[in-house]
Amino acid sequence: MVNEKYYGYGTAPSIIRELFAYGLQKAKEVGKDKVFDYSLGNPSIPAPPEVNETIKKLVDEESSILLHGYSMAPGFESSREAIAKNLRDRFDTNAKASELYLTCGCAPALISVAKALTVKPEDNFICIAPYFPEYNVFFTAGGGQVKVVAPDIPDFQINLDALEEAIDENTVAVVINSPNNPSGVVYTEETLVKIGDLLKKKAAEYGHPIYIIADEPYRELVYGGVKVKFIPEVYDNTIVCYSWSKSLSLPGERIGYVYIPEKCENGKEIYAAMAGASRELGAVCPPTLIQRVVEECVVCDPDLEAYDQNRNDLYNGLIDIGYECAKPDGAFYLFIKAPNGDDMAFSEAAKLEENILIVPGTGFGCPGYLRLAYCVSNEMIKNSLPGFKRLFEKYGK
Amino acid sequence: MVNEKYYGYGTAPSIIRELFAYGLQKAKEVGKDKVFDYSLGNPSIPAPPEVNETIKKLVDEESSILLHGYSMAPGFESSREAIAKNLRDRFDTNAKASELYLTCGCAPALISVAKALTVKPEDNFICIAPYFPEYNVFFTAGGGQVKVVAPDIPDFQINLDALEEAIDENTVAVVINSPNNPSGVVYTEETLVKIGDLLKKKAAEYGHPIYIIADEPYRELVYGGVKVKFIPEVYDNTIVCYSWSKSLSLPGERIGYVYIPEKCENGKEIYAAMAGASRELGAVCPPTLIQRVVEECVVCDPDLEAYDQNRNDLYNGLIDIGYECAKPDGAFYLFIKAPNGDDMAFSEAAKLEENILIVPGTGFGCPGYLRLAYCVSNEMIKNSLPGFKRLFEKYGK
């Protein structure tokens, strides 16, 4: 008597949620400092101080009716213009407010784009493993399919031959998530240029554009001077989906955007269809107070020092023990190889033997690896290393 | 190359938006005080002062990471418990936090419920005219259909014979919106009890429950001591969708809920399916700061004096002129009969001849009537009455 698909979505077990819940329970038994929870990608640095200052200023100075009233569905013109200007200032783009559509975070951005681009049931969106498991929900939301390209082990760049093989006449778009969740890897400009060339070739072959959907919530989270190429600079048919969840540490406030550059083929039609699909998501407008906050704070840089310190301490600590791990240039994830080759078993062992909570790569389309979210306290990292060492000694070859 | 349905949704003309845009443009030409815009249902009273006070308190006192971080998908436990308690205090219900699912306003609440309940393409949701036009998007979002019951003219209660005739073996739910947009009418307890009896009879006949989906954003907006019956008190199989957009004047902040009472048949399954459907809407969690605000402010009553004054002045003014109008006990709408019988033509005439912007009832499934949103300044109402008089004299019979 209820929809089976959605009942399935609503009752599907989530290893991440289960690990997190286990950690909370265990912390009650053995103490919080004895549980090492690397399961959740919840920012551990506070929002820049400008965020709360702006909230208070707006609440004090702006009329309640304007501040808390409806905006246009794509968001306030002034907010979109500030964001467009910031893109123009930082990248080689002539971004305009009218090319931006603000959303309640990245999830509805990706879904509305998927729905706009899906025309028939055979249409497919290519996701490159390892990838965010929720893509399976997002990119099938319009009735199309997800096609997975196997991971490029051990560097977790993109295997171009495998990608070429995956693209077919029904391929609508390739989803690029860099810095990557779960690997922390940043795709090189060289990789992106090659993908662009490949998509142009395939588009000519099949007679329709193949888009890149750039899922970029981690764009600002990079370390050691690494640059994240702004994909529209190397490939015209790019649709950018962004959120401030990580860069401003505002994941709960639900604010992001879709950016469809003018030069993107059928861009205006896609924008209209995406706006239309948003009606079916119930997206009346993104939260207005937070739109105004972003308008002011889009220029703020996150203070990445704590993440960088964590990254170095965890990466070096694990490598010293003997773990293998791709070079983590961005986001706040490490993706390590399971010493025993079995990510599910290793996650379970780490949990039961050491209260270390790490997420198996299987759910990310990459068995044999595990994700560690290092948006945690530095102390927790240091205290967890002896446990990692014992696990490696027991399960490593 | 883009999805046709969503392109249609994204490019469909909206009379309300067009009237509103016309008003903005006209105001530049003739002055704001010469334009009488009754087109939009945007609250005109500020949020209760507790709202902004709570925002500032939270920002000052709560950790940024907790305040702006993710909540669980259904919302903070503490917020849901405060809302459940408020329901228990006010109504004959044992509402629990676990029966509430917080949403980004009423729109995704209604859509996720529609998707949860739609099992096959023949499934239908019955909407009673006049009704909010966006229901056509919301209740077909799961692939089912909208079936419309003709309006009960001139009182705009519900024609039970017509409703009975509309219900068939594929009827999943009847949507009840009281106080009603666009009529401002509050359905009587007697009407609701009779509907409940009818649905029980039909459920027995067809062998499956027929739900009431109670769309209640205007529940608190009633005047003259009129009571809005809490529908779960008279019919067990009721699913409540609520938002604080109107009651706390927070439409831009996107906060509402689905409440599925324990006694509702298959309630737990519906809740799970609705949660699952929410994933496909990209509803990661409702805005967290605003969740916490509602947690504190759910006990606040809106200051309805201004709306009530507007209601009386506009209603009495129009009746004195000779207009016909159902008794407007709630929301902030009047629904008047077009003096010439043609709502489209009358709206156009009012716009062009008097700069009076009123929305034809045709879009609400009720031709021959027009909606006036009186969430405006009282001065505007007074200044608009001479124009209404001239229109009536010219077009009235």
Mean pLDDT for the stretch of residues A168-184: 98
Res B170: pLDDT: 98
Give me B364's structure tokens. Answer: 């609400």
Q: What's the mean pLDDT when you consider all of chain A?
A: 96
pLDDT exceeding 90 applies to what percent of chain A?
95
What distance in Å separates residue B51's CA from the closest CA in chain A? 10
A152 pLDDT above the threshold of 80:
yes
CA distance B395 to chain A (A): 34
Q: Say how far apart CA B352 and CA B348 lie, in whole Å.
A: 6
Q: Long-range pairs for A26-32 at CB < 8 Å and ≥24 separation?
A: A26/A355, A30/A355
Which residue of chain A comes nearest to B71, CA vs CA?
A252
Which of B281, B291, B297 is most worth mutating to test chain A (most A CB atoms within 10 A of its CB)? Answer: B281
Decide the pairing of beta strands A238-243 and A211-215.
Answer: parallel
Residue A1, pLDDT > 90, answer no
Torsional sign, CA B247, B250, B252, B255: negative
Inter-chain touch B279–A10, beta carbons under 8 Å: yes
* A279–B110 C-beta distance less than 8 A: no
Q: Alpha-carbon distance A391 to A357, whole Å? A: 13
Which chain A residues are Cβ-neighbours of B253 within 8 angstroms?
A: 68, 287-289
A373 with A358: CB under 8 angstroms? no
* B289: nearest CB among A42, A117, A253: A253
Compare all CA atoms of chain A with the CA of B138 and give the residue at the minimum distance: A280
Phi, psi angle pair for A242, to nearest 5°: -130, 160
Q: Please return the burial class of B327, using the count of CB atoms within 10 Å of its CB with bins 0-12, 13-18 and 19+.
A: middle
pLDDT at A397 over 70: no
CA-nearest residue of chain B to A136? Answer: B280
Q: What is the DSSP string of B193-231?
A: HHHHHHHHHHHHHHTS--EEEEE-TTTT-B-TT-----G
Contact A283 B103 (CB under 8 A): no
Q: Return the pLDDT at A327.
A: 82
Contact residues on chain A for B110, CB-CB shorter than 8 A: 282
Are B59 and A63 inside 8 Å of each other by CB? Answer: no
Amino acid sitting at position B142: G
CB-CB under 8 Å, A280 with B141: yes
> What are the tens digits of pLDDT across the range A90-127?
999 999 999 999 999 999 999 999 999 999 999 999 99
Residues of A whose CB is below 8 A from B269? 1-2, 7
**Quick one: which of B40, B36, B41 has its CA closest to B351?**
B36
Cα atoms in the Cβ-side hemisphere of radius 13 Å centred on A290: 31
Name A331's Cβ contacts closer than 8 Å, sequence gap at least 6: A179, A180, A181, A184, A218, A221, A246
Q: Hey, what domains does chain B have and what are their CATH numbers?
A: 4-47+303-395 (3.90.1150.10), 49-297 (3.40.640.10)
Residues of B in contact with A273 (CB under 8 A): 2-3, 6-7, 9-10
Question: pLDDT truncated to tens, each residue of chain B (397 aa)?
Answer: 899 999 999 999 889 889 988 998 999 999 999 999 999 988 999 999 999 999 999 999 999 999 999 999 999 999 999 999 999 999 999 999 999 999 999 999 999 999 999 999 999 999 999 999 999 999 999 999 999 999 999 999 999 999 999 999 999 999 999 999 999 999 999 999 999 999 999 999 999 999 999 999 999 999 999 999 999 999 999 999 999 999 999 999 999 999 999 999 999 999 999 999 999 999 999 999 999 999 999 999 988 999 999 999 999 999 999 999 988 999 999 999 999 999 999 999 999 999 999 999 999 999 999 999 999 999 999 999 999 999 999 999 6
pLDDT digits (tens, 9 = 90+) for A305-316: 999 999 999 999
- List the single residue in B6, B55, B105 with the smallest CB-CB distance to A284: B105
What secondary structure does DSSP assign to B79-126, as a single string?
HHHHHHHHHHHHSS----GGGEEEESSHHHHHHHHHHHH--STT-EEE
Residue B189 CB contacts under 8 Å (≥ 6 apart), including other chains: B227, B229, B234
A270 contacts in B (CB within 8 Å)? 2
